[in-house]
Amino acid sequence: MNQSKKWAWVSAAVCASVLGALSVPLSALSDNDDKALISKANALFKPLPSTDALENTELTPLRVALGKALFYETRVSSDGRLGCVTCHNAAYHGADALALSVGIQGKVLPRNAPTVFNTSLLVAQHYGGNRASVEEQAYKALLSPVAYGNTSNEQVETKLTKLGYMPLFKAAYPADAKPVSVENWSRAIGAFERTLLTPAPFDRFLKGDAQALSKSAKLGLEKFISTGCAGCHNGVTVGGQTYQKFGITQDYWQVTGSTPKDAFKGYDKGRFHDTKNEADAFIFKVPQLRNVAVTAPYFHDGSVETLPQAVKVMAQLQLGKQLSEEEVTQIVSFLESLTGDIPSDFAKVPRLPAAPN
């Protein structure tokens, strides 16, 4: 069995086994079915937790505050202009609204930057899943030639000390003999990012508030389940917990209009670029769908500009289905219920240390 057919079979099997017993015809939905739909939804999705503290890790206010400062800090990068906030901006709901993000010295990156909101809950970071956690992502970004562009950990630690961060690191990590370290950099940024959770109307619905969703959104939720979307987009983040082939029914670029990238010597093949295993060709981490309605453009290369078009593309490429305009509108209405408020602390720009004279 070739790889494409294998993934198509797996996807169909998952959808059939997980969703078969959960779907009812759209025509059966009425105001009296709210309780049944809430029960059905809870079998596939879960509300966001109140915190994402790692086991045995305390998200102290001092560590979170330090992490926020470092998140907004650009002077650590090799050109002094790039920080986490460059690609994850409050104005764009934790993303950057660009098809392809921009790194140091204006280098255009080969992939789109997803929102930072709720990302600590995902199975891994990056589209290829090559970072196990938000902490590892923050750590490795420092020496990335397209991100911060530093040449050594010592260089980073020297910069942080010269910028006046020593008191903040000491306060956040008082027991450490060497408080200013790249390890503590990654822990602090991770602590901050683990607070960036965005509860949405859908969470209230899952907890029993039937009025949290409009009738159109409820119809969209039912269609999202019955069509098979929830076979991959499920769990607390409505996706982001598994890996799947992108382009089960045909090559994805034939539908998305994606173009080859020099960085990949052709079309982006997902996890293959990290593992060099042909079995991973075109396998990507399934994106989370929380805040998807406000984080366009879509897919790993930002090749699709609108959410209705992205819904059509996914139905065609992953499920081999053509949705009607009404069905697309209903599914989009459901996806809009996944939009949460921007965390209040995230939008407030912190006061960064002034470098000592």
pLDDT tens, position by position, 249-283: 999 999 999 999 999 999 999 999 999 999 999 99
Residue 295 burial by Cβ neighbours in a 10 Å radius (0-12, 13-18, 19+):
buried
Give alpha helix (H) positions in 20-103: 34-42, 61-72, 84-87
pLDDT digits (tens, 9 = 90+) for 30-69: 566 899 999 999 999 999 998 887 766 778 999 999 999 9
d(CA 299, CA 352) in angstroms, rounded, equals: 34
Mean predicted confidence (pLDDT) in 171-189:
97
d(CA 348, CA 290) in angstroms, rounded, equals: 22
Q: What is the pTM of this model?
A: 0.90
Its CATH class, for the domain covering 61-193, is mainly alpha
3-43+199-336 maps to CATH 1.10.760.10:
yes
The answer, yes or no, to whether residue 109 has pLDDT greater than 90, is yes
d(CA 146, CA 301) in angstroms, rounded, equals: 16
* Residue extent(s) of CATH 1.10.760.10 domains in the chain: 3-43+199-336, 61-193
d(CA 255, CA 276) in angstroms, rounded, equals: 25
215-227 and 325-336 helices, crossing angle to 10°: 110
Mean predicted confidence (pLDDT) in 345-354:
92
The answer, yes or no, to whether residue 74 has pLDDT greater than 70, is yes
The answer, yes or no, to whether residue 12 has pLDDT greater than 50, is no
Question: Is residue 92 classed as helix, strand or coil in its secondary structure?
Answer: helix
d(CA 7, CA 31) in angstroms, rounded, equals: 38
Is the CB of residue 210 less than 8 Å from the CB of residue 38? yes
